[in-house]
Copies of this chain bind each other. A is one copy, B any other.
Amino acid sequence: MLSSDTMRGYNDTIILSLLLEWPSYGYEIAKRIKERSNNKYVMKETTLYSAFTRLEKQDYIRSFQQDKTMGRRRTYYEITAKGREYFDQKHQEWLLTQEVVNQFITDNRS
């Protein structure tokens, strides 16, 4: 339903918001995004995993292995203190983005 064209710029923040709840891994994050958005947004696997790589490089998340009980070996990620700061910053930015975009799109007729 929603294209990553419009979601671009918020993919990283969405991932962080879920890791804020509990450490998780790619496949689960993907499912949770789909579920929580009521199937309105499905993040592509390649997009998701490249986001992980990027976020880890920036020290916003940290990876670790956990003794899994089922399925293939997973790489778990948890959010760092720096990642939490970044999320708060992005949260503020999102509030401002809505204000600004609404100034043009919603408030302004149509």
Residue ranges of A at the interface with B (Cβ–Cβ < 8 Å): 1-2, 5-10, 13-14, 17-18, 20-21, 33, 36-37, 40-41, 87-88, 90-91, 93-101, 103-106, 108-110
Contacts and interface: CB of A to CB of B under 8 A. Distances in A.
Contacts of A104: 13-14, 17-18, 33, 36-37
**Assembly stoichiometry (copies):** 2
A40 B96 contact: yes
A68 to B, nearest CB: 26
A6 B37 CA distance: 19
10 smallest beta-carbon distances between A and B, as pairs: A6-B9, A17-B104, A14-B104, A37-B100, A5-B9, A6-B97, A40-B100, A94-B105, A41-B100, A91-B110
A82 to B, nearest CB: 15
28 contacts: A1-B96, A2-B97, A5-B8, A5-B9, A6-B93, A7-B9, A7-B97, A7-B100, A7-B101, A8-B8, A9-B9, A13-B105, A14-B105, A17-B104, A17-B105, A17-B108, A17-B110, A20-B110, A21-B108, A33-B104, A37-B104, A40-B99, A87-B110, A88-B110, A90-B105, A91-B106, A94-B106, A95-B106
